[in-house]
Amino acid sequence: MKPSLFCPLAALLFFSFAANADDEKKTPPPNFVIIMADDLGYGDIGCYGSDSIPTPNLDALAKGGMRFTDYHSNGAVCSPTRAALVTGRYQQRSGIGGVVTAANHRDTGLAIEETTFADVLGENGYATAIFGKWHLGYDPKFNPSHNGFGEFIGYVSGNVDFFSHVDQAGYEDWWRQAELTPEEGYTTHLVTRHGLRFIEENKDRPFCLYLPHEAPHYPYQGPNDSPIREIGHAGAVHGEREDIAAAYREMVVEMDKGVGEIVAALEKHGLRENTLVFFCSDNGANQNGNNGGLRGFKGQIWEGGHRVPAIANWPGRIAPGSTTDVTALSMDLFPTMLDAAGIDADPKLALDGVSLMPALTQQGQVADRTLFWDVGRGVAARKGDWKYVVEMPKGKKGKPTPESTEGLYDLSKDLSEESPVENADMAAELKAALEKWQASWAEVKQRS
| Rounded Cα distance, 37 and 281, in Å | 5
Judging by DSSP bridges, how do beta strands 175-176 and 179-180 pair with one another? antiparallel
| Rounded Cα distance, 392 and 399, in Å | 8
Judging by DSSP bridges, how do beta strands 31-37 and 207-212 pair with one another? parallel
Strand ordering across the sheet containing 127-133: 179-180, 175-176, 151-155, 127-133, 207-212, 31-37, 275-281, 310-313, 66-68, 322-324
Contact criterion met (CB below 8 Å) for 398 and 379:
no
Judging by DSSP bridges, how do beta strands 275-281 and 207-212 pair with one another? unpaired
Q: How many CB atoms lie within 10 A of CB 267?
A: 13
- Phi, psi dihedral angles at 24 (to 5 degrees): -65, -20
Residues in the chain: 448
CA dihedral 60→61→62→65, nearest 10 degrees, is 120
| Active centre residues (catalytic) | 78, 135
Residues forming a β-bridge with 62: none
- Phi, psi dihedral angles at 254 (to 5 degrees): -65, -40
Distances from the Cα of 327 to the Cαs of 236, 301, 409, 426, 442, in angstroms? 38, 16, 16, 19, 25
User: Looking at this protein, which amino acid is placed at residue 192?
Assistant: T
